[in-house]
Amino acid sequence: MNEKDVMLLEDTFKKFYFEHFDLLHVPESPKLREFGFQKFNGGMNRHITLKSDKELHLLLMQNKPSDVYCSNACYRFPNLPMTEKDWLNADLIFDIDAKDLRKTHSVNNSVIKCSDCNQISSLSDSCHNCESTKLAVITLTCSDCIKSTKDEVKKLNQILTDDLGINPQSIEIFFSGNEGFHIYVPKSEYQEIGSKERAEISDYIMFRGAIPETFGFKKFNSNKSSLPKFEDDGWNGKLAKQLYGTKSNRSKSIQKIISGGYSLFQKRLEQFRDTIGIKIDPNVTNDIHRIFRLPGSINSKSGLTKIFVENLEKFDPYVDACFIDDEETNVKANCPIKFSLKNKKFGPYKNEIVSLPKFAAIYMICKGIASTT
Amino acid sequence: MVNLGSDEIIKYPFLDEAGKYLSDKGFSLEDFALNSDLKKIVENAFERITISLDGHIYKSDLTSNTASTTTETFSFLIAVILLKLAGMNTLTRRFSLAEARRAEKFLEKDLKNQHDDKSRKISLEILQELFSVTIQKEDEYFTIPIVDYLKHSINFHEREWKLINRKITNGKVQLTSHETVRLVRKELDRYIFSKINSSSSPEMIQGFEPYVTKLKLLAKKFEVKTVESTEYPPCIKHAIEVLEKGENLSHSGRFLLATFLLNKGQTVEQIAPLFKNAPDYNAKVTFYQLNQLSGTSGTVQYKCPSCEKVKSQNLCFPIPECDPIINPIQFGRKRV
Ligand code: SF4
Ligand SMILES: [Zn+2]
Ligand SMILES: [Zn+2]
């Protein structure tokens, strides 16, 4: 990113932080957490300790970070190198991101940026300018993607409460600041389990590694009555809906399933991973030493804020998580498609200098499709 | 503390309470050399060990009169003393494994027992106190908190122990009595082993010598003549050492050792004896697995895992000679 862009972003982010200290808090037991931050065009600074909101605010003002992070884990010595930190426990966290839900990109909200000539074109297999196939896909605001990630969050919440026995009151949902949600479960009975145990929980949630026996299908002598029923708890009930469609269909479907044989059923279970498994990012959940984007901070991939979601149904990230003002800002914009932010439509722009409200200008610079020069 | 009746003392003689029962009886070890009734118990104790060495489980007389309680419990405690005197880790390993299997059977039966509330309560208490697993009975199932379940199941490799393959509701896993006990099998073995290991070693007792000598001889059978290992990398040496000590080598450790030696051109017959000392050794299974790895059973030969992989399994103990290599197989080879 060029220097003028960096300066604009730094000043804008700093202004946001200054005006919104109320959104930025250190989490519970701050002295036991590891903090970290990144600067624009800079590397990661980790192993930082902060004692209070005040120290956090000071860090934001002094360092003008592009991104700010905090561990979900607590350590006895959070500022020492990883091997000496002495891990104590960690909040259970989940990441649901539109990128893991999409099967394909849509021309309506994705563009490509060529890694060879930097040209931005509408979605296709090669650069419109130089025909290179080294491309990065850039996704812009999309209400469909937000809707499907929200649905996934709801499904996750149901498993967390019904199956894992987590009190719904202690589940906290945050918009990630880009195109997903971060789900926190602080202070649960799962607080002290390690990475391997968390991987088992991830696999459960994602429906990974299921075997036919679990659903009453044996290699020999399968018993009709032991196959999933609609009213069963856990995955059994959910699988019943997938397998039979309707209750009245059960008996007929089971006949088919059993005559299809063991390995066919095993295959179908693997396919169900894609349909009924929850699409969390297992790396996030299983990593107990991660530093995770700090709530209230801006995500430099978009200029939107990672923010607590009170009402998931009503939450609109493109309005509720966009805190930058609408001061007129000139940028050279290169965006072949339309997008909408704060209920306003923008684009398309053909490599032209335009005057935009600052929030849209910042969004486009963060996405890599505009520049101040 | 679990409050045991004489029945339970026979079933679980490794619990502290069992030892107390004996001291209450007022016997001293010297009595065993003199009293002919007690001599018989030493004989029993010796038998209890040899049975375990063959991988069998000692059968108990549960008639529960005072005489049998004494004989039963004594035979365990004297066996421990014999083992301490013999001082052979392999023997202790095998003995504690067999005793763990034996206790496991009782635990399972007691858990299931609908008619005897007391036995059931005690089995639940043992599981809670020794392994901090909180078990509740619900209809025909037992349920335990997911967190407790994961702590133990994480050590199993079979797919049926994965959380996804368990019925879970409201933070609890449903298990049968068999599965509940199976869940703590390893820990039960470890518990008994460390209990024996940490008990103090007595002086030689008159009358015990012949048994101790016999045990030492028996232990020889399990000793392994290892192939010259000087040119082996440290990870392989470590794996061999663990087996020689009769300690448990993890599945990945065995895999590393077997694939390494096979790739070095050793035969299944040459390698198999190395595993003879493992506490859960089974000749048939070992040969079967080695044949699988070697490719002789029609499959492809398995490759030795990379150093990186070995490292991630905590089985790597690098020395400067390891610097240029990425697979243990390359150890000692000169670069051209
Ligand atoms: S570096 Fe490789 S050869 Fe050396 S000890 Fe580690 S795993 Fe073995
Ligand atoms: Zn190009
Ligand atoms: Zn979309």
Residue burial A238-250, b: 16+ Cβ < 10 Å; e: rest? bbbeebbeeeeeb
Amino acid A155: pLDDT: 97
Is B150–A193 a contact, with Cβ atoms under 8 angstroms apart? yes
Lowest mean pLDDT among A142-151, A161-170, A278-287, B180-189: B180-189
Q: Tens digit of pLDDT for each residue in A215-224?
A: 999 888 778 8
Q: pLDDT at position B283, please?
A: 81
Ligand 1 atom closest to B236 (CA): 8
Torsion of CA A77, A78, A84, A87, to 10 degrees: 90
Q: Kindly report, residue by residue over B184-204, the tens digit of the pLDDT.
A: 888 888 889 888 888 877 888
Q: Which residue has the higher pLDDT, B70 or B98?
A: B98
- Distance separating alpha carbons of residues A24 and B107, to the nearest angstrom: 54
- The atom number, within ligand 1, closest to the CA of B318 reads 5
Instruction: Please report which confidence band the pLDDT of residue A160 belongs to, taking 50, 70 and 90 as the band edges.
Output: very high
Separation of CA B136 and ligand 1 centre (Å): 46
Contact B211, B42 (CB under 8 A): yes
pLDDT of residue A301: 96
Look at ligand 1, atom 3, and give the residue with the nearest C-alpha. Answer: B328
How far is Cα B85 from Cα B29, in angstroms, rounded to an integer? Answer: 13
Q: What is the DSSP string of B247-313?
A: PPPPHHHHHHHHHHHHHTT--HHHHGGGGGGSTT--HHHHHHHHHHHHTTTSSPPPPPPPHHHHHHT
pLDDT digits (tens, 9 = 90+) for B244-276: 877 778 889 999 999 999 888 888 888 888 888
| CB contact (8 A) between residue B150 and residue A208 | no
Residue B107: C-alpha distances to residues A164, B6, B38, B103, B121 (Å): 28, 15, 29, 6, 11
Q: How far is CA A214 from CA A221, A243, B146, B159, B226, in A?
A: 15, 15, 17, 10, 44
Q: How far is the CA of B320 from the centre of ligand 3 (A)?
A: 53
Please tell me the residue having the least CA distance from ligand 1 atom 8: B235
- Per DSSP (E only), the strands in A176-258 are 180-185
Closest CA to A99 of A153, A138, A133, A135: A138
**pLDDT of res. B64:** 56
Q: Name which of A294, A321, A363, A320 is nearest A67 in CA terms.
A: A294
Show me where the domains of chain A are located. Answer: 3-100+142-204+281-323, 209-275
pLDDT at A313 over 60: yes
B145 Cβ below 6 A of ligand 1? no
User: Which residue is listed with tokens 């099967």?
Assistant: A103
Contact B146, B163 (CB under 8 A): yes
pLDDT average, residue stretch B279-292: 82
Coil, strand, or helix at residue B168? Answer: strand
- Tell me the average pLDDT of chain B: 83
pLDDT-based confidence at residue B298 (cuts at 50, 70, 90): low
Task: Establish whether residue B315 lines the binding site of ligand 1, counting it when its CB lies within 6 angstroms of any ligand atom.
Answer: no
DSSP characters over B55-103:
T----------HHHHHHHHHHHHHHHHHHHHHT-HHHHHHHHHHHHHHH
Q: Is the pLDDT of residue A47 over 70?
A: yes
Lowest mean per-residue pLDDT among A186-200, A245-259, B23-37, B297-311:
B23-37
Write phi, then psi, for A8 (nearest 5 degrees): -60, -45
DSSP tag of B166: S
**Tell me: the pLDDT tens digits for A260-312?**
889 899 999 999 999 999 999 999 999 999 999 999 999 999 999 999 999 99
Percent of chain B with pLDDT over 70: 91
| Domain at A3-100+142-204+281-323: CATH architecture | Alpha-Beta Complex (3.90)
Q: Where are the domains of chain B?
A: 6-113+186-220, 234-335
Exposure string of A199-226, with b = 16+ CB inside 10 Å and e = fewer, is: bbbbbbbbbbbbbbbbbbbeeeebeeee
The pTM score is 0.79
First to last CA, chain B: 66
Q: How far is the CA of A134 from the centre of ligand 2 (A)?
A: 8
What is the C-alpha separation between A354 and A329, in angstroms, rounded? 8
